[in-house]
Every structure is written in structure tokens, then in C-alpha cells.
Amino acid sequence: MHLLRIALAALMLGGGAAVLAQTGRDVPPAASTANPSGQNPTAASVREDQLLRELNKLQGRVSIPDGKAALLEQPQGREWRQFREGWLPWIGGIAILGMLLALFGFYFTKGRIRLDQTEESGVKILRFNAFERFMHWLTAVCFIVLALTGLNYIFGKRLLMPIIGPDAFAALSQWGKYAHNYLAWPFMLGLLLMLIVWVKDNIPNRVDVAWIRKGGGFLGDAHPSAYRFNAGQKMIFWIVVIGGLLMSATGILMLFPFSATDINGMQLTQAVHAVIGVLFIAAILAHIYIGSLGMEGAYDAMGSGEVDLAWARRHHDLWVEEQRAKTASGPQVHGARPVPAE
């Protein structure tokens, strides 16, 4: 029995030496170690690309808790990488730079939408109360940080790192990742609050159709009527709600990776999160423009909460009538001059 073991060991050692000779790395190639037949015995063996082509994925078995580690290679990984490194920066760049160019073009051709001077100018009407402004700014502040840190995931290594260097970029990205993961939660809270508080004022109706037909006042002479929110604002509301909910759902899936889906699902989740994210940023750029630089008097609505009655009459005439019917000259409307009773 002992002799048999020795013979087996010698056989194995001999086989190992033969394998080393074939690799040509550890044993120098020499005539004495070359295969005497002159043929490569592994020439016909299955290669990695053949296996991948036939099986579609290469996988094995592992004993660690992470069963996903058994999957070595699959085509979807390369497709996702191609999207992540190839298509996504272009989609993001075109969406965001395209929107910025459109807004610059609009500003320099049409200019600022000016405030009307009427007999109601100077009289203030409460447009958004303190809680509404709070939930708007809670969402907005978080959105700005989420947008900047999100863009860093796509463009940071291309645009920032060459300027600030790899060490500063690594530190910035790490803190950006913390901010992105943690500020997502107050963003989601603000989103839910806005949905609850404002949904009743954002149901589309016939007035919105007329508003769109008149291009929001740019087509034709008369400014189209609107209730509390015009069709453009309703579009922004639903973009924020639907886009925000999709961002929240995909974001939570990425905060808890593989909790609900496999590697392909995670890749799809990341792609959806990124594409909606850049489109979301482009849409909010338009919202920021029209709420600040683009329209005189619009910022006051979210700044102090009170807007000029002449502004409100021009852009939200039906809402003003609703408010006047509710309060007449009560606490809702106040200012330098009393609003004449009708």
C-alpha cells in the first residue's frame, strides 16, 4: 500500500512538470522538455470565448454567502458598461446643455416676461403659505445637491478630475456619495408632501387645453386663463412627481443592492435612474429659469409667499377670482391699496 502511494505521488509530480513545461513560464523551453509529438495537446480544448458564445454566461459554484460571485462573465455586463461609459454621458450632455442653450436663446430673443403695471399693482395676494414654501424648498435644496452629486457620477472623472487631481476628486466624490445617499430621504419626504398638498390643484382640465393652444400667452394677443396652476406648471408638477417617484424607487433599489433583483436588474435600475435623472435636471432647469430670471414677479411666490395682484391677475386670473370669492377683501388680499369690491 505504501509503495502504491509513492508511485501515485511520483506520477502526479511527473504530470505537474509536464503541465509547467507546456505553459512555458516556470520551466524554460528546451528541446528536452518540448512535447516530443510536436503537437499542442490543449489546442482543441474549449476556450473562454467559445464557452461564453455557447452558454451565454460563464458561472460556477462558490461557498461564500455571495452567490452572485459564482457568475464570472455575461454579455449584459459589457452592454451596461458600454451604456454607462458611452451613451449616458452623451444623453446627459445633450439634455442638459441643450436645455441651457434653449433657455439662453429664449432669454436673448424674448427677454424677460415683465410685470404688468395696472391699478392692482402694489397690492399683494398670498400665493403660497409658509408650509407650502417649506416643502418646496426642502425638496429643492435636496434636489440641487442630488443633481450636482449625481452629475459627478457621470461627468466627474471626465471634467473635474483633470482639474482638481485624483486625490481631491476621490475625497469630493466620497462626500458627494454620502450627500447623495442621505439627502435622498428628505427629498423623498418633500416629494410626498408636495404630492399630497398640491395634487388637487394639478388635475388637468379644459382650461389647460386652451392655455396650451395659446402657447401659454406667446401665441395670440390675450393671455390664457389659468386656475392656481397653469398647464406649464402642471406639467412641471407631474414631471417632478412621476420622475421623483421613479428616481426614489430606483434609488432605494440601489441603496439596498440585490435586495429585490439580480445583477441584470441592478444594471437596468442604474440605467433608468441615470437617464431619468438627467432629463429631470433638464426639466428643472427650465422651472428654475421661469421662476427666477425668466418672469418678473414669479420668485416672490416662493420667496415671501405673496405676489403682486396684477401679476396674479395676468397669469392666474381664475385663481384670483376664486380667492376673492372666498375672502372678498379679507386676510387673503392685502397691500398698499384695498382691492375694490366687485
Partner 1 sequence: MKTIILAIVAAVLLAGAAAYLLSVNQKPAYQAFSTTGARVTPTDNLVGPNWSGDPQGRGAGHRG
DSSP 121-187: TTEEEE-S-HHHHHHHHHHHHHHHHHHHHHHHHHHIIIIIHHHH-HHHHHHHHHHHHHHHHHHHHHH
Q: Which is nearer to partner 1, 143 or 280 (CB)?
A: 143
Closest CB 30 distance from partner 1, rounded Å? 34
**Interaction between residue 288 and partner 1 (CB under 8 A):** no
**Interaction between residue 299 and partner 1 (CB under 8 A):** no
Q: Which is nearer to partner 1, 93 or 303 (CB)?
A: 303
**Interaction between residue 60 and partner 1 (CB under 8 A):** no
- The correct pick among 87, 104, 107, 137 for binding partner 1 (CB under 8 A) is 137
Closest CB 239 distance from partner 1, rounded Å? 21
Closest CB 137 distance from partner 1, rounded Å? 4
- The correct pick among 104, 107, 175, 178 for binding partner 1 (CB under 8 A) is 178
Q: What are phi and psi of 57, to 5 degrees?
A: -155, 150
Closest CB 325 distance from partner 1, rounded Å? 28
**Contact between 311 and 287 (Cβ < 8 Å):** no
**Interaction between residue 147 and partner 1 (CB under 8 A):** no
Closest CB 270 distance from partner 1, rounded Å? 16
Write the CA distances from 248 to 10, 96, 149, 173, 189, integer angstroms: 63, 21, 15, 21, 10
**Interaction between residue 175 and partner 1 (CB under 8 A):** no
For residue 104, the Cα-to-chain-centroid distance in whole angstroms is 23
Residues 172 and 164: their CA atoms lie apart, in Å, by 10
Q: Which stretch in 50-58, 135-143, 224-232, 311-319 sits in contact with partner 1 by CB under 8 A? A: 135-143
**Contact between 309 and 121 (Cβ < 8 Å):** yes
Cα–Cα–Cα angle for 24, 29, 35, rounded to 5 degrees: 85
For residue 8, the Cα-to-chain-centroid distance in whole angstroms is 63
**Interaction between residue 130 and partner 1 (CB under 8 A):** yes
**Interaction between residue 156 and partner 1 (CB under 8 A):** no
Q: Which is nearer to partner 1, 138 or 246 (CB)?
A: 138
Alpha helices in the chain (DSSP H): 2-23, 48-55, 75-82, 88-110, 130-155, 161-164, 166-198, 206-213, 231-255, 263-291, 300-303, 309-315, 317-327
- The correct pick among 164, 189, 271, 288 for binding partner 1 (CB under 8 A) is 189
- The correct pick among 11, 17, 55, 69 for binding partner 1 (CB under 8 A) is 69
- The correct pick among 103, 142, 286, 301 for binding partner 1 (CB under 8 A) is 142
**Contact between 76 and 262 (Cβ < 8 Å):** no
Q: What are phi and psi of 117, to 5 degrees?
A: -100, 105
Stretch 240-269 residues interacting with partner 1 (CB under 8 A): 255-256
**Interaction between residue 59 and partner 1 (CB under 8 A):** no
> Which residue ranges make up the site for partner 1 (CB under 8 A)?
63-66, 68-69, 130, 133-134, 137-138, 140-142, 178-179, 181-186, 189, 255-256, 303, 305
